[in-house]
Structure 1
Amino acid sequence: MSGARDRLTDALYGLGWAAVKKLPEPVAAALGRTIADIAWKRRGKGVLRLEANLARVVPDAGAERLADLSKAGMRSYMRYWMESFRLPTWSQERAAQSFSAKDLHHLTDALASGKGVVVALPHLANWDVAGVWVTRALGVPFTTVAERLKPETLYDRFVAYRESLGMEVLPHSGGSAFGTLARRLRDGGLVCLVADRDLSASGVEVKFFGDTARMPAGPALLAQQTGALLVPVTLWYDESPVMKGRIHPPVEVPETGTRAEKTSSMTQALADAFATGIADHPEDWHMLQRLWLDDLEERRT
């Protein structure tokens, strides 16, 4: 049964990549909204978890406001998928016009420093669109990490897809990713990591919307070990077809403290930057999994 389910999952994603990218863009967008609305009306585990997470982000929201946010959130999530299926067909011009960033100088100055740059993002809007914009508009290649998915053929699809967009993709598991990322940074390269959820034992506890969550230590450790600049980025959609973003000021490495203390301080600074972007655009935060430690404890009991 597991093998059959894996094959079905892979086939559905393959169908998405093959079919959606051939649709006219307005048709693909409308299809995404329809799928999102159907999923939202079914009130499955993902939708309920999204609403529970949004309740922490917008604590004063009543049931009607949370329902509206989760519906908009599912539409945003499906927009991510519809865009991602179509990204390989985008022209150089379309890619260059797909993203508009506030305070872009924080990124361009960091890249010009030659020290290497770690960009850290939460699950907001479409980080793949931002990545395509970096490779095609700025002409800067970068390295990222992808979680190994099951089935393996689906993981291979994602790697091939992102590599076709100009990204170097490393597997999250296996133990060699950190060393490769560090070498890229020492060479003055760019590393981009989605960094708002970490359930591993090496995750760093942070205060996030008033409660404790765990986020990956990797971005802060890479910056400390290589001297690279650590730059938070938050993204959002508005009514226009152009995705928006904010490049936050680089997170500084504390001058004093142990390595663990520095890592904790820097990861908290990332969490604070992420929280600012998520609070401003909660409907674009695609967090359909448990994140806060209290929620994880509830699942275990």
Structure 2
Amino acid sequence: MSLRDRVAVGAFRAGWRFARAVPEDLAVTASRHAADALARRGGPRVEQLRRNLARARPDAAPAELDVLVRDGLRSYARYWLDAFRLPAWTRERTVGAARFERGQDLRAALADGRGAVAFLGHLGNWDHAAAWSATELAPVVTVAERLRPEQVYAEFLAFRRSLGVEVLPLGDPASFGTLLRRLRAGAFVPLLADRDLTGAGVEVDFLAGRVRMAQGPATLALATGAPLFPIGLFHEVRQGRRVLVLDVADRVPAPARRPGEGPREHRRRAVAEMTQACADALAEVVVAHPDEWHVLQPVFAPVVPPPPGR
């Protein structure tokens, strides 16, 4: 293992131990101070977050964006803190600190054994959402990017298995077939899809820009007939309690085949239209809760100026 990899593994393990060993109130305060320090220091990823969040708040003044970036980093730090502590949460806390909204159709599909697919963005705390779903809905199967170094990836797999979630490697040719089998057996397959990590994504309109999003959710729904639901994740504080909201949007229907349209053309159009519908639902949540959209990487296609004279 290289020195860089050893440092990454050590930092991950130190964060894991700190989050679990320190009293929660103190850990929350420490995570907030760390986020504020990062916001003040800036850097490429902080500036990228600022550019991304400006899409959700295009009319915000610089000072407003400063606050939004700070709040976004605080939210992201809290995500990591809660993720590290999740395996030690009781079932009562995992369930009690979440609220399921507008999810009757999703729950009914899973209760009938039909399986279901969810389109998620990097919002709120998707690990908590998966743990809640594994407890309250159905077996959860998803995919995840292979992290480097490999030892960190292996520990993340073990962590998510401890939450009751089966994780398949993104990009592995066998993963798609496994997802098909799990769906047909009645599993719930939530997929983080607001970033295309494969190069085979669908270009959609999103927050007045063009973004490539993963085609996996729509492709799986079409291949199996399982219903596809966009789900927004965000936190609310009511009566002093911080609660993760899983807000299930309307099912995204598969468009009918047009006269004279071949199967391949229909599939391509259906994937594009279904992914766009999911992107539209995601955009509503990001606009309402921009500080909970944890994307510090470039996602928007660059704007190419027109040639001179046009």
The TM-score normalised by the length of structure 1 is 0.94
Residue 242 (structure 1) aligns with: 243
**Matched-pair identity in %:** 42
Q: Relative to 1, partners in 2 of residues 1:139 and 1:271: Cα closer, same or farther, differing over 3 Å? A: closer
Distance, in Å, in 2 between the alignment partners of 1:172 and 1:265 is 23
Residue 176 (structure 1) aligns with: 174
Deviation of residue 266 (structure 1)? 0.3
Distance, in Å, in 1 between the alignment partners of 2:247 and 2:80 is 22
Which runs of 5 or more structure 2 residues have no equivalent in the other structure? 259-265, 306-310
Amino acid at match of 1:249: D
Distance, in Å, in 2 between the alignment partners of 1:292 and 1:110 is 34
Tell whether 2:113 aligns with 1:114.
Answer: yes
Residue 202 (structure 2) aligns with: 204
Q: In the TM superposition, what whole-angstrom CA distance separates every residue of 1:9-56 from its partner, at most 9, and x where no partner exists?
A: 111111111221122111111111011111111111111101101111
Tell whether 2:86 aligns with 1:78.
Answer: no
Residue 259 (structure 1) aligns with: 267
Distance, in Å, in 1 between the alignment partners of 2:137 and 2:124 is 22
Amino acid at match of 1:286: H
Deviation of residue 139 (structure 1)? 5.4
Q: In the TM superposition, what whole-angstrom CA distance separates every residue of 1:52-79 from its partner, at most 9, and x where no partner exists?
A: 0111111111101111100000000000
Contact 2:101 2:248 in 1 (8 A): yes
Amino acid at match of 1:287: V
Deviation of residue 174 (structure 1)? 2.1
**Bigger CA radius of gyration:** 2
Distance, in Å, in 1 between the alignment partners of 2:17 and 2:103 is 34
Residue 3 (structure 2) aligns with: 4
Deviation of residue 201 (structure 1)? 2.8
Deviation of residue 261 (structure 1)? 0.2
Q: Relative to 1, partners in 2 of residues 1:127 and 1:254: Cα closer, same or farther, differing over 3 Å? A: same
The count of aligned residue pairs is 295
Amino acid at match of 2:20: K
Residue 162 (structure 1) aligns with: 160
Residue 67 (structure 1) aligns with: 66
Q: In the TM superposition, what whole-angstrom CA distance separates every residue of 1:120-178 from its partner, at most 9, and x where no partner exists?
A: 11011101111111122x15221011100110001001100000110001111221111
Which runs of 5 or more structure 1 residues have no equivalent in the other structure? none
Deviation of residue 272 (structure 1)? 0.4
Q: In the TM superposition, what whole-angstrom CA distance separates every residue of 1:109-129 from its partner, at most 9, and x where no partner exists?
A: 221232210111101110111
Amino acid at match of 1:252: P
Contact 1:116 1:187 in 2 (8 A): yes
Deviation of residue 199 (structure 1)? 4.4
Amino acid at match of 1:294: P
Contact 1:199 1:214 in 2 (8 A): no
Alignment counterpart, residue 302 of structure 2, candidates 289, 294, 297: 294
What RMSD over aligned residues (CA atoms) do the two structures have, in Å? Answer: 1.5
Amino acid at match of 2:107: T
Tell whether 2:128 aligns with 1:129.
Answer: yes
Q: In the TM superposition, what whole-angstrom CA distance separates every residue of 1:263-297 from its partner, at most 9, and x where no partner exists?
A: 000000010010011111001100100001117x8
Amino acid at match of 1:8: V
**Segments of 4+ moved more than 6 angstroms:** none
Contact 1:116 1:227 in 2 (8 A): no
Q: Quick check: 108-117 or 285-294, which moved more?
A: 108-117
Residue 141 (structure 1) aligns with: 139
